[in-house]
Amino acid sequence: MYQMENLNENQVAYPMPRIGDAAPEFQAVTTQGNINFPADYKGNWVILFSHPADFTPVCTSEFMTFATMEEKFAEANCKLVGLSVDGLYSHIAWLLTIKEKIEYRDMKNVEVKFPLIEDISMNVAKKYGMIQPGESSTQAVRAVFIIDPKGVIRTIIYYPLSLGRNFDELYRALVALQAADAFGVATPADWRPGDDVIISPAGSCGKAKDRMEGKEEELDCKDWFFCTKKISKEEVLEKVLKK
pLDDT (0 to 100) of residue 202 = 76
- 227 included as an active-site residue: no
pLDDT (0 to 100) of residue 174 = 97
- 57-77 pLDDT tens trace: 999 999 999 999 999 999 999
Q: What 8-state DSSP symbol labels residue 74?
A: H
Question: 5-9, 31-35, 160-164, 169-173: lowest mean pLDDT where?
Answer: 5-9
pLDDT (0 to 100) of residue 14 = 76
Instruction: Give yes or no for residue 47 having a pLDDT over 60.
Output: yes
Instruction: Give yes or no for residue 116 having a pLDDT over 80.
Output: yes
Architecture of domain 184-239: 2-Layer Sandwich (3.30)
Provide the 3-class DSSP secondary structure of residue 86: coil
Name the residue ranges covered by the structural domains of the chain. 2-165, 184-239
Segment 106-125 shows an average pLDDT of: 96
Q: Where are the beta strands (DSSP E) in the chain?
A: 2-3, 14-15, 26-30, 33-37, 45-50, 78-84, 103-104, 107-108, 116-118, 142-147, 153-159, 197-199, 219-223, 226-229
Which member of 59, 78, 221, 227 is catalytic? 59
Share of residues in the chain with pLDDT > 70 (%): 94
* Alpha-carbon gap, residue 1 to 120, rounded angstroms: 23
pLDDT (0 to 100) of residue 138 = 85
Top-level class of domain 2-165: alpha beta
Instruction: Give yes or no for residue 227 having a pLDDT over 70.
Output: yes
Confidence of residue 11 (pLDDT cuts 50, 70, 90): low
Q: What 8-state DSSP symbol labels residue 85?
A: S
Q: Where are the beta strands (DSSP E) in 119-176?
A: 142-147, 153-159
Share of residues in the chain with pLDDT > 90 (%): 78
Residue 38 near residue 151, CB atoms below 8 Å: yes
Q: Is 211 one of the annotated binding-site residues?
A: no
Residue 153 near residue 171, CB atoms below 8 Å: no
**Cα distances (Å, whole numbers) of residue 29 to 37, 59, 85, 101, 189:** 11, 20, 12, 26, 39
pLDDT (0 to 100) of residue 201 = 83
pLDDT (0 to 100) of residue 205 = 83
Residue 123 near residue 28, CB atoms below 8 Å: no
Provide the 3-class DSSP secondary structure of residue 208: helix
pLDDT (0 to 100) of residue 10 = 43
pLDDT (0 to 100) of residue 242 = 66
Instruction: Give yes or no for residue 7 having a pLDDT over 70.
Output: no
Question: 37-46, 119-128, 233-242: lowest mean pLDDT where?
Answer: 233-242
Confidence of residue 3 (pLDDT cuts 50, 70, 90): very low
- 154-190 pLDDT tens trace: 999 999 999 999 999 999 999 999 999 999 999 999 9
* Mean pLDDT estimate for the chain: 91
Segment 6-21 shows an average pLDDT of: 70
